[in-house]
Every structure is written in structure tokens, then in C-alpha cells.
Structure 1
Amino acid sequence: MNHNKLFSIIFSATAVCLPIAANGTAIGHDTVTETDFKTKEAYTGDSLATAWLNAQTGLTPEERDAIKFLYAYMPLADGNGYAPEFFLANVRSSLRAAEEMPWGKTVPHREFRHFVLPVRVNNESLDLSRPVFYKELKDRVKGMSMEDAILEVNHWCHEKATYQPSDARTSSPLSTVSQAIGRCGEESTFTVAALRAVGIPARQVYTPRWAHTDDNHAWVEAWANGKWYFIGACEPEPILNLAWFNSPASRGMLMNTKVFGRYDGPEEVLERKPTTTIINVTENYAPTRTVEVVVKDINGNPVENATVNFSLYNYAEFYPVAVKKSGHNGHASLKGGIGDFIIWASDGKNFGIVKAGGSDTNVQEIILDKASDWTGTLEFDITPPAASASLTSPTPEQRRLNDLLTAREDSIRMAYVVTFATPESASALAKSLGTDEGKTKEVLIQSRGNHSGISKFLTNIPADQRDKALRLLLAVSEKDRRDISAEVLTDHLATPETESPLFDRYIMNPRIENEPLTAYKAFFRSKIPQEDAQRYRSNPKEWVSWCRDNIAADTVWNQPGIPMSPEAVWNLRMADSRSLGIFFVASARSMGIASRIDPVTGKTQYADENGNWNDVKFTDETLSPSSPKGRLNLSFAPFGRTVDPKYYSQFTLSKIENGLPRLLEYEESDTYKSITGRGPELDEGRYVLITGQRMADGGVLARADFFNITAGTTTERPLKIRQDSTEIQVIGSFNSENMYHDLETGTDKSLLSTTGRGYYIVGLIQPNHEPTAHNLNDISATAAEFEKRGNKMILLFADENEARRFDRGRFPSLPANVVFGTDINSTNLNEITTNLNLTTSERPIFIVADTFNRVVFVSQGYTIGLGETLTDILHRID
């Protein structure tokens, strides 16, 4: 069947609105869900859910309908990765909450189906957190209004977890609790799961990328009595609709949420797929306008079905925050913030680019005038929206109580964290097991709440397997060590050893991309006969052919964002492109073939007997060798303090495929020197080198250089970063999450916890030191201005001995917003010296930075008038 045609048929029907009884319970038969359920089974050829339902005689009508809803709209990764009993347990917990919670009968059918019932929030591993969370929370929120219950659930979440950045894999809610940490995507997934557990509709909101700074953010919206409210996940505030990101969100260009199922709410639909509806919630946070474009060919004719990327400059690329298709008249539109979009459109071969300014009201015309051989340079001055947040302030009593609660929650969480493995306990285990002490300490300390499971695993395996087990644990990611199971470890530890130098990383290692880990090696050994595996090892191209001929491509029911397990792909014989790549690598490693998904290009690859990587081309029946390659030589002329531009911060490289850019994902630590030093080989084709200078107000001076790479030759290109000396510029990065020892409280804490959100000053100073004294006297002279502005200034000594030697009485007029501390292990000094390319670590050093980790000013050594300079910088930023 034509899958695209089927997709059109599926979604041509108008969604049915069920009548709602007085108690909020749906009545009548959901014919749309029933139709979609049957259509999905017919498409996939998988009738597991129907067979299971037919075998169940004890299900209530509500349970049966809920199971059908979940199976109708869950991705293939879920339907074939978890047993029906798993979903039934979650359904029963949801129905129990609806029955027992005081607001359960007030939640409308639509909100319950889409924002309470689904187990999945985004792309996390699924678990049975719902009944666990319900048991912990039901009495805690008993007797509260829905609004107060939302606040209370968030306090409970803060008690369990706090922010820490990590890789892109999203931990399950129970894993986040076990680890006691999570990045914003995990904190928000966890908080949504907790709210849904007590029957409160909740959804995760994402800004795919900010316009005024790099990075993105995720938070939570919760429904109460007919309205959606927002909260910062695991960051409790005294009232709803208050969070540190109020101001950044008011500068947002696009904020969206993913809804599982055929959703018919009032929000603008950005994209509708068989399993999900992506909706636009930007208007909840920022002023908006509708950006309209018309895509035309070089003859002026409208182009239908062109891909239109509404992009923002972020991490030095034009990142598409929304992707639309042009209609029959070439028209596409997006409701977004009051800032500049870079709009890139393509018909699959030719492309065109325009800037849609925040003040533009006319329809933008995009001419697809750049053919496959076009080269040239484009420059854009990009302006983000201005901040426009209007905050509702809590009362002083609300703020005082919230501060007391969050302090108590911190202590509860820390009481749990101190039960994790310590260097001493890890060393003791290493001695008792006879394992390498350094490796054992690294594994156990990084495992956090999973330390007991890993300790038990290492203890229970034979002594001669423990060294290999440590190699396995060091091959997976740090986050994996926090939640990897003994089942998965045991499975992959059994991988037959080879002498290949690639064995640990590319054969034994279960980690392929950012997928959930499974015990797939024994599975494939049971499915692929030994003699066949030997043949595939001798000639991996034969396994490529098998995958191409036996696994059907699916672009409808499983989106690449939620990868199917390798076992599910084998059983269903159907996969999206990402899951197919993961399947190939998993099955190849199970047969002893070194394989990977290349982290830079995203290509699926296997290694030959000489250790050379070969591209896997599932759509190429000739199974041709890897693409011809040429070399790129970038040249850069240093300016100011910029001597080695950073990838993602100041430049990126993308290959243009089918008229659209595909980012080359080098390591975050890569720079101009590290990349050019390797003399990178690139596939033949067309590329775009994007550079940008982020200004202090969030604007960007961007440059896009288009060129070709020809096989067997070296292409020379200059790496040019535009400059504007009249504006304050971002000159480097500094982690606002760094720790310091606060001398007033006697505790170790993060800079961010003291500064709050926004710009702040850090000074690295010395006692009884003339240059430091000059700086402090200058700052004292402008104390009134510093106090008026309120920006925190943290002054750090090297250690407590230095602090004791400092005579505070010599500087009685320092601003009241100065905080004194010590620099733990010189972390802040070392980072500033390295990131800002300072030639020495001589103090005093002062920086002006913000909590998006941008540095806009640095001063080192003896200076006069520092106080005036700092206040001027802060004034100009405003």
C-alpha cells in the first residue's frame, strides 16, 4: 500500500468529540480511535494488541477503551517493546487516580485522554513510575485545590531531583529519582509523570532553541479548572506561572508541545502525524506574529510540497524550530515570536534562503535559485525579540514559606545522595574483589543511585570476568552507569572476546546512539544460526543485503525520535531509518562485527579487517563502497582574544543533502585547531560553513559560506567571523553551575544559586595585594550604582587561608550585593583562564557573565577605574 496515501486517508476525517457526562467521564463509542487502532494494525501487520484484548475477559469497558487508545497512537517502539500488561497496570493506576482524586471527575475527556492517560511524555524509557508516584503523592495532595496540588507535586519533585546537565538520552522518571539529578528534559518528563500520576493533566513544553542565546529549555504546563499553567520542573515557586525563564520565554520564537493521539484542542497545530500532534503554545509566553512565505521556482511559479525550515541561529547553525510543507500555491506560514527567522526552503534539489525580520508584515518570497552547484556567501544581521515578561509576584510570606520548603527539600535529597558510593567505599570494594581501584571508583561514584546494583553485579560474576566487566562499564556512557541493569550487563559481558582493538567500544559495548539499552546479544545469537553469522562476519555486505531486503522502511507509525529496540525491529520487520541503523549495529555486534553509527555524519558503518570504516547504504542495491572523499582546509586569522574558535559556539559545518543542511556533529570540545589538525576527510558534495558572533543583546552577526568538496582534492576556505566593535560581544563561556564555598553560610553551593538568573560578576582576588586593592577601591567608589542595579558580585579567594588573611575593614564601602567565598580546587580560575585564552592565571581577574554561560567582559591584573567599567558594561547590556 502507498503509505503516504494511507496517511492522507487516515487524517482526512474530522475528529469526533465525545459527549461528556456531568462527572467528566466519556460516554459513547470513540469511533475515531477504533478506526485508527484497526488501521495501524493493518499497516503493520501486527495484531498483538487485538489478540491480547480478545483473550482478556476481566477488563472493564473503560480499561478496554483506554488500552485501545494507547495502542492506536503509541509509536511502534512502545507497542513492540513493552508487554500489554505493562500498559494495563498504568491504565488502572490512571483510572484509580481519576476515581479517588477530588478533581478526577472534573477533568474533561479530551484532557484526560491526551494529558493523563499516556505513559510516554517524550522520548524517555518507559517505566511503572505511575503507581509508585501515586502511592507517595495521593495523601500529600489530599484536600488541596488543583492549583495547590500542582505546586505541591513540584515541591515533591524538587525533593527527589535537581538539575545537572548530561547527554541527550532521556532517563525514565524512576531513573531520575534514583539518580537524584536530571537535565531539564528529564526533570520535566519526571514532573509531568508525577502530575499525571495523581490525575492532573500535564504536558512538557519545549523551546527547541532560544533566539537570544544558545541552548534550549523544557518545562511543564499543568491543567487546573479549565486553564493551563506553567511551572519550572523541580524548581518550585510559591505561585503558578512563575519561573526563572519568564523573561527568556518572553523572548522566545517558538514553544511547542507533543501530544499523543489525534488532538483537537484550540492551539495551532504545527504538525500532525498518525501517533502525535505537535501544537504551538508560543502565545502563552511571548508576543507573536504570523510569518508567511511563498516558495517559487526561478521562473516565478509557486512550488508545491517544498520543505520550509523556519530556523533560528543557535549553536552556530540555522536550526529548524519548525518544518512546514508549502501548499499548492507555494504558501507556508508559522505563528512565532517577534524576532528574525532564517527561512530555508527546498524542493529536494534547489534551495533558497531569506531572513524574515521581526517587524516584517509582508509575505516573504523565497526563490529556489540555488542549484546543486551554487557557491557563494550570505550574511545576516539577526535580531532576537526583546524581553517583555510581566511577572506576578508572590507575597513576602509566600516567598518565605517557599524558601523554607525548598531548603528542607534540599536537605532531604542530600540525605539520600550521601548514601551513594564514596571513594572510600569504592576502594574497599575494589580491594575485596581484586579489581582495579581507579576504575572501580570511577564506575561506582558515577553510578550514583545505581551503585548497589553495579556492586552486586561485580560481586556475583566470576573473578576472571571482573576486569572485562569494568571495561564494559567504562565503554558505556556515564549516564548509562547510573541506570544500566544487571540483565543488560550480563548479556553484553558474554560477548566472545576478540583481539580487535575495536572490541570494547564497537563490539562488546551495548551503547550505539541514545537509545534505551536492551539485552540484545543473546537474542540475536538465538535468531541467527552460527554458520550464517560466520558468513556475515566474513562478508558484512551480505548482512547489509539481508537488512535491506527484509526490513521494511516505515515513516508513518514510528518517528525517529523514539527508536525501536533491535529486538522489536527483528520481530516486526519494519523500522524507521534511525531504528534500522541501530538494528544493523546491534545485530552486527552480536555476530562479532565491529560497527557503529558515526557520531559526526550519522552514517551507519562497519569496520573491515583492517579497521577501516565502510558506509552502510540500505537503499543502494549495488552496495557500492563508501562515498568518495576530499579534504577541507580551513584558515583563520586570530582577532582580539579569539585565537581558536569553538565548534558550536562560533562555527559549524553542514553537508547539504536534498537541498537541506545536515549538521556534522563534531565533539563539543572540538575547535578550529582540533578539526583542522585532523585534516578532515569529507564526503564529496556541497557544504555550508556557518559562523556567527553573538552580541551581548542576543543578536548575531552571521555568515554562511557555501562551497563544494571534490573527491581527491583539498578545498581551501577561510573561517571568517564577523565583528562589530561598537557592541558588547560574547567573548567566551563560563559555567554558572560551578561550585564555590560560601564564607557567610559555610556551605558549598553553585554560583547560580547565589546570583539568580541574569548577569553577574565574578572576581578572583588576593588578600594584601595592591592590584586587588585598587579594584576593590574602585568598586567601593561606585557602590551605590552596584546596589541600585542589584547584580550579584562574587569575590573568590583561592582558599580559606587567603580569606582569613583578608582585612574586610579596609574596604568598608563595598556594595551590599558582594558575596565572599573561596574557589574550590581553583575550578573557576582554571575555567576562566582556559576559556578566555588568558596567558597567565595572575589575579585579580574579573568577568561579567550571565546564567546562560556567556562572558561579555574580562579584566585581568592591575587596572584603574574598574568600578566604572563594570557598571558601564551592565548599563550597556540593559
Structure 2
Amino acid sequence: MKTLVRLLLVPFFSVLLFSCSESHFLKEEAYRNQVLQDFEQKQQALPDGNLFAILSGDSLSLSEREALMFLYAYMPIGDIADYPGEYYLGNIRLSEQARREMPWGKTVTDELFRHFVLPVRVNNENLDESREVFYGELKERVKGLSMKDAILEVNHWCHEKVVYRPSDARTSSPLASVKTAYGRCGEESTFTVAALRSVGIPARQVYTPRWAHTDDNHAWVEAWADGKWYFFGACEPEPVLNLGWFNAPASRGMLMHTKVFGRYNGPEEIMLETPNYTEINVIDNYAPTGKAVVMVTDADGQPVTGAKVDFKVYNYAEFYTVATKYTGADGQVSLTAGKGDMLVWGSKDGKFGYAKLSFGKDDKLVLALDKKEGESYALDLDIVPPAEGVNLPEVTPEQRKENDLRLAKEDSIRNAYVATMMTEERAKNALAKFNLSNEDKEKMVKMLVASRGNYRTLLAFMELATVDKKEEFALALLQQLSAKDWRDVQLIDLMDYLIETPDFQKLGVQASAELVNPRVENEMLTAYRCFFNSAFPQKEVESFVEEPSRLVEWCKKEIKINNELNSQRIPISPVGVWKARVADEKSRDIFFVAMARTFGIPAQIDKVTGKVQYMNKEGHTIDVDFAESTPAQAATGLLRATYKPIRSLPDPKYYSHFTLSKFKDGVFQLLNYDEGDADMGAGTTWSNLLKNGTQLDTGYYMLVTGTRMASGAVLSKVTFFTIEPGKTTTVDLVMRESDEQVQVIGNFNSESLYIPVSNDSLSTAQSLLQTCGRGYFVVGVLGVGQEPTNHALRDIAALGSDFEKWGRKIVFLFPSEEQYKKFHAAEFQGLPSTITYGIDMDNSIQQQIAKSMNLSNQNILPMFIIADTFNRVVFVSQGYTIGLGEQLMKTVHGL
């Protein structure tokens, strides 16, 4: 093997030795030697598929060879197997072109360039040709600007293309986001980083793995200019840098991370080093911090080397790991974090231990691995997040006005593009030529409208399916896909599934959703059925169908598992796994299911447990364990939970109030039940999951519950229990409550004036007292189109019927008439009818709330209060808060 690797490297070494006149891409000799060593190890680990062929060419410059070597040394497996070398060479040349042509090219150091400009990948998105496209659009727009102004300008351009809207966890590529014209924060930031890198500006995606004071997480962008990193909200242009709606919540953050491509030796604290990336901690840029040392010991108090230490934040009703470290010979690890509480979990060899750690108060924690699987007990944990301490850069009224005008113009540019997309009427007209039933036409209309800028792909697919007389199958296939798939799937991939339709009747199995669906999990859709059907002799395929366990054995024999080479767990395409013959476990699982479905074997990855399963000829579901010799049906038991309702919560919801996790290898892994439409109150609850019982695989489990207080603090309860074969286990689901009664926390003048809006026309000014009458009421000041306001309105809409029953008035105010005109209540279905809309004249109510409630900054929206006509305030919330509707109702129930 080593001889082969050396032979493959001969062209590289020849250039290295005999092209001394050429300039190096990796100029530091020590770093260059390290990269060479890492590259050689990567080649040894991936000997199949001729994956590094691009380096055997003799037309590359020394700099290009070293740049390719650097990229290949640290790429995840999928990026090597799924994209040709010519793709990366093209991106190298484009990045060097931008470096030459942009005025700041010479000020960007080699280290910054190789880690924050050259790499194509930002997150887990599908790679595309965005660097070339974006550079073509942006170079003339920014080349005459300073670096900081160029960053602001690129973000304005991004806002022309994309605006925020929540979507599923798979990250669309930058070009797909442009085609869609919206994306969640992870997609907006991926898109914006790609745009900045295209013009040679170092950029990175920064994220909080989870907020400490509220559920959810967030991602944004940092860009480097003139020796310093600056942050901003992607596709959310502000007049200056270091400003975004998230300044306040970020000041309450526990950790802020970014993944840096390759080995990185920058000034930031290193969180984790992997064969693909270096994870660094940038929390010091956003919040006050404290550093703590964790000493892990065994039950006898002796230091434990190599123990895994997970630092966990309470979020979405689980203790979520935001950082993982491993103890050294002294049994210690350290971490810098925001000044709040985390749960620290240590584990090794099946033993574990845990304790709460308060950063800023505790500088050391001794953690004993004295717990073991099978113990049943419960404990209470009170979790306190960091306090808010935001500092905002100054923005003049003139800067704000100019920025608002630009935003309005950019909205109009984007909206003009959106207006070209399918409406229901256009979709019906486009489908008139197809011989579809009315019911099927309604389904197709829905898909075409939801496909946004990708509707031509879906129409072309249906036209080709009509030629083959496979309209019914094509429609069934499209219905199995997600809305995001409709927005970014390519025709070539859809056609692969259409051409290689399994003969269900011949196979003797019913055409199930598993067989029709080309998607296995969260991977990007790619063509694989034609490939696999031609890769295996027919007799071998028939043997797999006759006994699917033979396909399991084939995968165990042919696919080598190497999780380290895909540290980010970005799914490798099924064909990529075939070529490399090396994969991480998750990509291997997707590969198995894809092959099974291709051959007509119903198979899936269970959404709750993550187990790989197939259905045998007898119709039994068989669990696949690639570590075991024989697949089998898992033994199960029944879990029931009792619940004594608290006043404000008749039916706790999964992810909002409780979660279940199963023990494996010293840690608990979350069971991923359906959350439904998280913004509209659907999904898994106590009553439909645990009240009457649910079947679980036997094993050791953890139930976590939590009550989030308005302050962001959490009253949590953790219960450990065991599920035994054929038996019923009953536990108590307890939602802890605060003993504190609702308190008056401030004053607000109920006779404050505003301008009501009725049928889009302004009325004469009136007081809140006139609108609301005597008693309690809610006032909200909204920031239209901003993510925190969108979340708040969806939370309130999810509990719209509860607010209707309460019957008191809700007044939603806008800072200006222009802001009101941008608001569309139809986007938030379920908002209660008790809402009155209005304009806050001269922002007087906004300023009054900020002053009377001692809010740190009057410009952070949204603001909400519950007050009464005796001018007493009993609830206040500002900025980014998930679950606002529930917090409001808790207060209402306590009145």
C-alpha cells in the first residue's frame, strides 16, 4: 500500500524538487510538511476509486498542486468521492483570480486565505458553482470600496437575493437559496460566506450550538477586514458591522463556535481538532466569560485518562452537547464559556457521572464516574443562563434612514423575482395538458407553488414521465419528497428514479412509500438506481431479494468504516460510498437502504431510533446491526408515564417540555419523535405518546422535563429507568413549577396614545385604555420581517385558541406606517381575533416600555408586556425568545 501511495505522489514530489522558481501555496515549510503527511495518510485511507487522479496531471503549477493537496488532505470523504478534481482546481483558480483583482488581496495573509477564502464548503450544503457566479455579479460592485464597506455591500446584495424563513435541517446550496429566495439562518449564513469568499474576503459561519436562555439556535457570519473579525446577520444588512438583532441574545450565550477547514493555528481557543477541521471557540467576542477546569476521576478518586467530557446546555427539553473534550494524562479538561449553568457529563468504558457547573462562579469541578447502567432514580436540576449585557455600536439617524431605504429597494428587487414563480392559477394552467385527475392536479399544484424557482424541473419531470406513461409513479415519487427537495432537486436525479422503477408485481411486494422514496434521510438527493442496477449481476440481485441479510453481509465485507474521515457526518452519496469503499457509519446506513430500495427490498432508517431496518419476505421488520452476525427483531417493553397537569400545561409537548433518550456507550442518545409543525403546535405530546404507553427497545433510558421561566431559567427534572422485555414500566412525568406568584415588575401608562389601523387605513389616535377597556391586556411592538418577531408571532398563533378564551385585547404596534405595510398577518395562521394593529407614534410606547422596564436598549424588537389599566406590568419580554406564547399564557393563568 505504501509503495502505491509513493508512486501516486511522484508527480507531486517531482514538481516540488524541480520547480524551485515557482512560488509555494504553502509557504511555511513546517506547515507544508504537516499537510503533506496528512495528505499521504488520506491517500492511504482511500486507496480505491482513483479519487486523487487530478494530482497525476503535469499541467498544474506548484501553487495549484499544493492548494489541491491542502484541500484533499482535510476534505471529508464525500467531497473527495462525489466531486471531480477539476471542480476543486477550478475553484482554486477562481479564488486566486479574486486575490489578484480585488484591492484587499495583498492584505489577506496566506493563513487567512487558505482557511477562510479557498475552501468551498461552509456547512453541510451541496457544493455548487456559486463562487464563479457570485464573483461575476459582485466584483464590479465592491472593487472600489474599502474592505469593511465591501462586507456591508455584499450583505446588501445577499438581501436582494435571500430573506429569512424557517425550513428543515438540510442545508440548501448557495445557488439553491438564490433560486428559492429564502432560507433559514444556517442557509443564509452559508450563502453569505460563499458570497464573501467569492470576492476574496475571509469569512466564516459562526453559530451558537444552542441558546441557554431560550430554545433554538442561530447562525450568522464573521468577516475579516483590516486585521480584525467583524460579525453581522447574514442577509440582514445593518448600517454598520458588529450589529444584528442577535446582539442581546448573543450576550447571554454560553458558547459560540466556528469550524475552520484543516489544521488551524489561530489565536482563538481550540475546542476540537479532527482530521477535517479545527473547531474554535469565539464566545469572547460576544459575552462575558469564565473558565473552568473539570477533573474526571474513577469511583476511587483516581484521575481518568481519555474520558469523554460533554458540556451540555438545556435546550428543547434536552441537555444538548455543545462541546466535547477528552481528558489528558492528568484527567483534566478546561473550557471557556458564558457565565451560566451547564450540565457536565463524563463517560468511559460504560461508566458515567454528571454534575452542574456554573461558569463564572465555579472554576473547578471534580466529576466521578460513579454511575452505571440500570440504576433507577430522579433528580431536580435548576439551570440559570447568563445575564444580558449587550453593547451596541452607534448608528446615527441618517445611517438608519439610508439603510432602511436600501432594504426597501432590495425587497422590491427580490419580490420582483418571486413574482415570476408559480401561483395556483399559473400552476393549474401549466398542468392543463396533463391527463391527471382533479385530486392529483391539486397535489401537483401544491408542489409547483412550493417549488419556488425550481418549478420548471418538476414540470419537465412530469412531461418526461408522461412520455413513458409513468405519471402515477412520478407523482407518487414527488409526494414522497420534502418541500425543500421540490425547491432544489435536479432533473437528472429525478429521472434516475423514474427510469429504474422497481417491478413491484414481479418482486411480490406492495409498492410501499419506502420503495418509491429516493430519499433515505437528510442527504442531498443524487442518482444511484441506474448505477447500482448495472453494478451487480442479476443473479446476485435476486439473491439479495431472496435473503436481504446477504446484502447486509456484502456491506459489512465491502465497506470499511472510518468515522474520523467524515468528522462532520456530511452524508456521502450512495455512489460515492461505492467508489471509495470507505464511509462513516451514517453514510454506510444510507448506502445500504438506497441499494435495498433499488433492488425492491423495503428498507428504512427509523426516524425515532436511527436503526437501520428492512422488511423480509414474511413482512417482518428486521433490525440491522452491522456489528452483529445475524439481523433480528429487537425485544421491546412498554413505557407509560403519568402526568398531573399543572395549571398552564394540560398536555406537555415533546421537545418543548420533555424528551426521551436511550443509553449507549456511556451517553444517552435522543429519540427523535415527530415535532410536527413546531410553530403551530402539532407533533408528539404526552397524551399521544406516553399516556397509554409506547413500545421501546429494551435498555436504559432517561426522561428529561423542563419548565422555562420568563427569565430564561429552567426548572428541570431528570428520571432514569430501565425498559425490560415484555414488561410495562411506569414513570412520572413531572413539570416543575415555581412557587413564586405573579409579581408587579414595573409601570406602564395605559392612556398612552397610538394610531389604530383598520382595513389598511389609519384612524385617529386613541389610548390603549380606550381599545382594551378595564383589566389586563398585551402590548407588543414588532420588528417586521425579523427572525425574533417571526418566532414570537408563530408562538402566539400556536396558542391562538387559548388567547381567544382569555378574551382580553392584544395590541400589536409597528414603529412606522412603512413597517406596517410590510406586515402580512396571513403568514401567521392562527393569530387570535382579539388583536388590534396600530402605529406607535414617534416610537413613544416603545421608548416608554424600555425606560420603565429598565431594558438595556430601546431599539431591540420585539417587545411584549402584560399590563393592566391600573398601570401595573406583570410580564415583559424583549428580543429573541422561543416559546413566548406559552410564557404569556403562564402569566395569564397566574393572574
Structure 2 counterpart SS, 1:139: helix
Question: For residue 625 of structure 1, what is the aligned residue in structure 2?
Answer: 632
Local SS of the residue matching 1:104:
coil
Matching of residues 685-724 of structure 1 within 5 Å: 685-724=699-738
Q: 1:761-840 counterparts in 2 under 5 A?
A: 775-776=772-773, 830=830
TM-aligned CA deviation for residue 613 of structure 1: 2.3
Distance 1:145 1:727, change over 3 A: farther
SS of residue in 2 equivalent to 1:492: helix
1:667 matched residue in structure 2 = 674
The C-alpha deviation readout for 1:712-761, integer Å capped at 9, x for no partner, is 001011110100041669xxxxxxxxxxxx958959xxxxxxxxxxxxxx
Instruction: Give deviations 1:200-259, integer Å, cap 9, x for gaps.
Output: 000000100000000110000101111111110000000010001111111110011001
Change (3 A) 1:743 1:489: farther
2:680 corresponds to = none
Q: In 2 relative to 1, CA 403–630 (structure 1 residues): closer, same or farther, beyond 3 Å?
A: same
CA positional deviation for 1:368: 1.4
Partner of 2:453: 449
Structure 2: which 5+ residue stretches go unaligned? 3-20, 676-682, 744-755, 783-787, 795-808, 839-848, 850-854, 879-886
SS in 1 for 2:565: coil
Aligned AA (1:298): A
| Number of the residue aligned with 2:485 | 480
Equivalent position of 2:46 in the other structure: 44
For 1:591, the aligned partner's letter is F
Equivalent position SS for 2:118? coil
Kindly provide the amino acid, as one letter, of the partner of residue 526 in structure 1. S
Deviation digits for residues 417-467 of structure 1 (CA, Å, limit 9, x no counterpart) = 010111011111222112222011011011101011211221233252122
* Conserved 8 A contact 2:49-2:580: no
Highest relative contact order (Cα 8 Å, sep 6+), 1 or 2? 2
Q: CA deviation at 1:357?
A: 1.4
Q: Which amino acid aligns with 2:672?
A: E
Gaps in structure 1 of 5+ consecutive residues = 3-20, 730-741, 748-765, 797-810, 833-840, 860-864
- Separation of aligned partners in 1, 2:164 and 2:573: 28
Q: Is the 8 A contact 1:684 1:709 kept in 2?
A: yes
2:203 equivalent in structure 1? 202
Aligned residues of 1:475 and 1:504 also touching (Cα < 8 A) = no
Decide whether the 8 Å contact of 1:219 with 1:232 is kept in 2.
yes
Question: Which secondary structure does the structure 1 equivalent of 2:644 belong to?
Answer: coil
Compared CA separation, residues 200 and 843, structure 1 to 2 (3 A): closer
- Per-residue deviation, 1:267: 0.8
Structure 1 residues 809-843: Cα deviation after superposition (integer angstroms, max 9, x where no partner): xx9x99996988999787757356xxxxxxxx788
The answer (yes or no) to whether the contact 2:294–2:334 under 8 Å persists in 1 is: yes
* 1:638 lines up with 2:642 in the alignment: no
Please say if residues 127 and 174 of structure 1, whose CA atoms lie closer than 8 Å, have aligned partners that are also in contact.
yes
Deviation larger for 503-512 or 200-209? 503-512
Contact 1:630/1:710 (8 A) holds in 2: yes
Q: Offset at 1:555?
A: 2.2
Cα distance change on mapping 1:792 and 1:626 into 2, 3 Å: closer
Match of 1:7 in 2: none
Check whether the contact 1:594–1:606 (CA below 8 A) recurs between aligned residues. yes
Q: Distance in 2 between matches of 1:630 and 1:255?
A: 40
Could you tell me whether the CA contact under 8 Å between 2:51 and 2:81 is conserved in 1?
no
Corresponding residue SS for 1:130: helix
Matches of 1:351 and 1:689, distance apart in 2: 17
> TM-score, normalization: structure 2?
0.82
Q: Contact conserved, 1:688 with 1:704, CA < 8 A, in 2?
A: yes
In the alignment, what sits opposite 2:35? Answer: 33
Range moving further from structure 2, 611-620 or 699-708:
611-620
2:562 pairs with 1:554: yes
Secondary structure of the corresponding residue to residue 86 of structure 1: helix
Q: Would the aligned equivalents of 1:695 and 1:727 in 2 still touch at CA under 8 Å? A: no
Equivalent-residue separation in structure 2 for 1:792 and 1:33 (angstroms) = 46
- The Cα of 1:556 is off from its aligned counterpart by 2.2
Deviation at 1:497, TM superposition (A): 4.3
Which deviates further from its counterpart, 718-727 or 469-478? Answer: 718-727
For 2:432, what is the secondary structure of its paired residue?
Answer: helix
The equivalent residue for 1:224 is 225
Which whole-Å CA distance do the structure 1 matches of 2:171 and 2:454 have between them? Answer: 16
Distance 1:181 1:569 in 2: 32
Asked whether the equivalents of residues 845 and 858 of structure 1 are also in contact (C-alpha less than 8 Å), the reply is: no
Verify the 8 A CA contact 1:512 1:585 in the aligned structure 2: yes
Per-residue deviation, residues 455-504 of structure 1 (Å, max 9, x unmatched): 12212332521222111111011100001111111111232242688635
Letter in 1 for 2:628: D
Q: State whether residues 812 and 837 of structure 2, in contact with CA within 8 Å, keep that contact through their aligned partners in structure 1.
A: no
Q: Choose the corresponding residue for 1:583, options 577, 591, 598.
A: 591
- Partner residue, 2:871: 868
Task: Give the letter aligned to residue 627 of structure 1.
Answer: A
Q: Distance in 2 between matches of 1:631 and 1:855?
A: 45
Query: d(CA) in 1 for partners of 2:861 and 2:608?
Result: 25
- 873 and 99 in structure 1: CA distance in 2 versus 1, 3 angstrom threshold: closer
Q: Which residue is equivalent to 1:732?
A: none
Quote the Cα distance in structure 2 between the aligned partners of 1:691 and 1:361: 25
Percent sequence identity is 46
Q: So what's the TM-score if we normalise by structure 1? A: 0.84
1:458 aligns with 2:455: no
> 3-state DSSP class of the match of 1:138?
helix
Match 2:444 to one of 430, 433, 440:
440
SS at match of 1:187: helix
**Shift in Å, 1:703:** 0.6
The Cα of 1:572 is off from its aligned counterpart by 1.6
Judge which range, 497-506 or 692-701, deviates more: 497-506
Provide the rounded CA distance (Å) in 1 between the counterparts of 2:589 and 2:572: 10
Displacement after TM superposition at 1:61 (Å): 2.2
Note the alpha carbon deviations across 1:49-81, whole angstroms, 9 max, x for none: 5532222x3322222221111111111110110
With 221-230 and 345-354 compared, the bigger mean Cα shift is at 345-354
Q: For residue 125 of structure 2, what is the aligned residue in structure 1?
A: 124
Match of 1:75 in 2: 76
- The alpha-carbon deviation at position 683 of structure 1 amounts to 0.9
SS in 2 for 1:329: coil
Offset of 1:545 from its aligned partner? 1.2
Deviation at 1:48, TM superposition (A): 3.3
User: Could you tell me which residue of structure 1 aligns to residue 679 of structure 2?
Assistant: none
Task: Deviation per CA, 1:343-372: give whole Å up to 9, x if none.
Answer: 111113121110001343341111112111
Pairing partner for 1:648 from 650, 655, 658: 655
Partner SS for 1:269: strand
Letter in 2 for 1:451: Y
Inter-partner Cα distance in structure 2 for 1:605 and 1:126: 30
Instruction: Give the 5 Å matches for 1:1-400.
Output: 27=27, 30-46=32-48, 48=50, 50-55=52-57, 57-400=58-401
User: Aligned AA for 1:487?
Assistant: I
- Kindly indicate whether the alpha-carbon contact (under 8 Å) linking 1:308 and 1:323 is maintained by their aligned counterparts in 2: yes
Contact 2:25 2:66 survives alignment (8 Å): no
Q: In structure 2, do the counterparts of structure 1 residues 421 and 351 end up closer, same or farther at CA, with 3 Å as the change threshold?
A: same
Is the CA contact (8 Å cut-off) linking 1:24 and 1:106 kept in structure 2? no
Q: Is the 8 A contact 1:560 1:578 kept in 2?
A: no
Q: For 1:312, give the aligned amino acid.
A: V
For the structure 1 residues 786 and 516, does the alpha-carbon distance in structure 2 shift closer, same or farther, using more than 3 Å as the test? closer
Separation of aligned partners in 2, 1:831 and 1:814: 11
For 1:112, give the aligned amino acid.
Answer: F
The alignment partner of 1:609 has SS state of: coil
- Tell me how far apart the structure 2 counterparts of residues 282 and 74 of structure 1 sit (CA, whole Å): 26
How many residues align? The count is 791
Displacement of 1:83: 0.5
Q: Which amino acid aligns with 2:495?
A: T
Partner of 2:514: 506
